[in-house]
Amino acid sequence: MLSIMQIDGLAKRYGKLPSEIMSEANTFDLYIIDAAMTFEQYHHKKAMNKGQEPLDNYTTEDLLTIYNKGKQNSGPINTKTS
């Protein structure tokens, strides 16, 4: 699904049909549109949070803290990977 959205984004940005994008674009074009869309999304979220930095990515520790707060009568989960 992401690839379809990237193709749509390229087509909108450059005023081409998706079929033209499919026949002419390469992976570098997809890399650039992904970076541009991510950058635009970041600034949109920042504007919606009234200047505060958006919290997009949780660390493992953040997720464990959230999990442990929601779980009652249990110890912390095992975080070791094999």
Looking at residue 46, its pLDDT comes to 78
Q: Give the H or E element holding residue 8.
A: helix 2-14
| SS3 call for 10 | helix
All residue ranges of the chain with pLDDT < 70 are: 1-2, 50-57, 72-82
Q: Where are the domains of the chain?
A: 2-70
What's the predicted TM-score (pTM) here?
Answer: 0.52
- Count, in order, helices (H) and strands (E) of the chain: 4, 0
